[in-house]
Amino acid sequence: MATLTPERTEAVHPAASVPSGRRHRLTMALSRAQGAPLIAFWLVIVAILVLPIALFLLVAFSPRLLSQGSQWFTLTGFRDALRGPLLHAVLDSLAVGAATAVAATAIGFGVAWAVLRTDIPARGLWSASMFALLLAPSYLVALGWERLLEPSGVLDVLGLGSGGARHLFYGPFGVIVVLTAKGVPFAYLAISNALRGLGEEFEMAVRVHGGRGRDAARIVVALLAPAVWSALAIVFAESISDFGVAATLANDAHFPIATFTLYNAVDNFPINFPVAAAIGWILMAMAGLALIAQSRALRGRSYRVLGGRSRPARRQHLAPPLAAGAVGCLALLVVVGLGVPAFGALSASLINGLGSLASSHGFTLSNYQRVLDSGALRGPLLYSAKLAAITATLTTAIGAVSARLLTSRSGRLSARILDLLLLTAVALPGIVFAAGYIFTYNLPLANTLGVHLYETATLLVLAYLATALPATARVLLGPFSQVQHSLREAGQVHGDGGGASWARTVLPVLARPLLSAWILTYCATLLELPVSQLLYVPNHPPVSVGITKALANYDFGGGTAMEVIAILFALVVVAAAWGLFRLLAPVGWRRLGRTR
């Protein structure tokens, strides 16, 4: 009996039926076409992340190479940056960063412990307040305090004496308070993630052997050392690289900070790029010192506490007096970080003539009316809204490509290089990015090559993109790493092309993370300060620059009204984005990733 064997079908390559010479050329053309998107992606990464920063930092050593001096190699920029007022600013940044790191880490540890290990009331509220603190720009927090305490400010108008508080707050103490409030969320996130994975068996072992509560707490702190040191390093790096407080409260208090001296080096005449680049190197070196201290403190020790026998920790019951004290401390933190600045900005926006020499001030909505009617005040908000939408869209798209490359099974070398670049960029202060863009795209070489981007909105968007992309890519890395490669393959098996299979199978899974990344980038870009301050197009200031300009001209009412309207506008955009997603997205998209 004859055996029937199924006929085997072979996939035929498009070039298989042509002569060998043409086949080779066709294969090469197909290979180049497939690699073109990756090449274009890397050209974008080099143009926005690598080239501006590398050239800017290089000028600190070789001014002549980049047409900024007569010396091929020199350390003069470092010598000037490490003496006189500049050295004072560097030391101030170092001291403020250290104090802020210790204070914010201690407070963040307490918040994480209260939220995760006790039955403190309103745990969800305190956790949400950490994210609200995280999203609030530091310069807006500082400006809210200033509107309350400044001479002829809100407290003076209300007849409340503020001289003692003003003298205390306008200086190192106020700078540390604001930066600590901004640093607590970073410490909370770093420590809470580790605390969730720490079972209660270690505390029980201490108590079984006769230890007291403080002994168990000491063991827990020791086991959480990696998270604590990470929190210290993160808060320290964020504090020394902050520009918002340096440009507002610290500057008004005549307390020099390194980031503001870097800004002065590139914003005043004559511009001194070598000194600015040297300060950039110093800021990165100080952040590196924090990472080295973290590494040395943890070297040679093991902190592996998760295993098959780990038990979830039980929440400790707080007696009413302790619960009341804990709630009071958390409420004080929220008041200092959000409540007081919000009250200062809102009350100042409602006072007529605040900041002027008028003898009487009344409560009115005229400041809001001026912002909405005046193009000089309304224009910056609309301009920033447009730039933020463009930036958020580009950043989310490129961030998705970056996350896809980082999680790809092929191209491991490219993924490692990209990961290193993104991690390095996260550690760079925003003011260094802005200075790098000013320097690179104003070079004679850029004009010779026909790259005329200086003082254009395009350059401003590229700088926004460069500062937002590293964080956005890291945010999207987790969701992209959870997507199985078989999803796209299943779509292709059912006849979809590459783009169609991605849209039908992968996009629904990633819709919520992509929308979240877009919203976060939009809100951060809308109120961004350091890049906007250095790169805005003349006569077209973004809203953050418009706010600071109005306040610098003693229009405190108009400036704070712009601030309040900008924040409300951002909240409206967030609500509209999620509302449209719920209304227009398919039902399956809305269900994926939703919690009950």
pLDDT at 23: 55
What's the average model confidence in pLDDT over 63-72? 79
Check residue 304 and give its pLDDT.
45
Whether 547 shows a pLDDT value over 60: the answer reads yes
Residue 351, SS3? strand
User: CB–CB of 119/318 below 8 Å?
Assistant: yes
CB neighbours of 407 closer than 8 A, spacing ≥ 6? 415, 477, 480, 481, 483
pLDDT greater than 90 at residue 507: no
**Cβ contact 229:294 at 8 Å:** yes
Q: What is the pLDDT of residue 591?
A: 61
Average of per-residue pLDDT across 363-386:
82
State the greatest distance between any 2 C-alpha atoms of the chain, in Å, as a whole number: 113
- The span from the CA of 447 to the CA of 454, in Å, is 9
Q: What is the pLDDT of residue 7?
A: 46
**Cβ neighbourhood burial of 332 (10 Å; 0-12, 13-18, 19+):** exposed
Closest CA to 419 of 400, 432, 396, 402: 402
d(CA 50, CA 30): 29
Q: 482 pLDDT exceeds 70?
A: no
491 pLDDT more than 90? no
Q: Give the long-range contacts of residues 351-354, CB within 8 A, separation 24 or more.
A: 351/154, 351/157, 351/556, 351/557, 352/557, 353/557, 354/147, 354/152, 354/153, 354/154, 354/157, 354/556, 354/557, 354/560
Cut 0.85: pTM above it = no
- Tokens describing residue 492: 């292709």
Say which residues have a Cβ less than 8 Å from residue 585's Cβ, sequence separation at least 6.
511
- Does the pLDDT value for residue 84 go beyond 70? yes
The CA distances from residue 430 to 49, 166, 366, 417, 531, in Å, are: 12, 29, 35, 21, 7
d(CA 473, CA 464): 14
Residue 158's CB is within 10 A of a number of other CB atoms, namely 12
**pLDDT at res. 10:** 45
Identify the structural domains of the chain with CATH numbers, from first to last.
73-304+320-351 (1.10.3720.10), 367-596 (1.10.3720.10)
Question: In this predicted model, which residue has the larger pLDDT, 359 or 409?
Answer: 409
pLDDT tens-place string over residues 215-238:
566 666 666 777 787 788 888 888
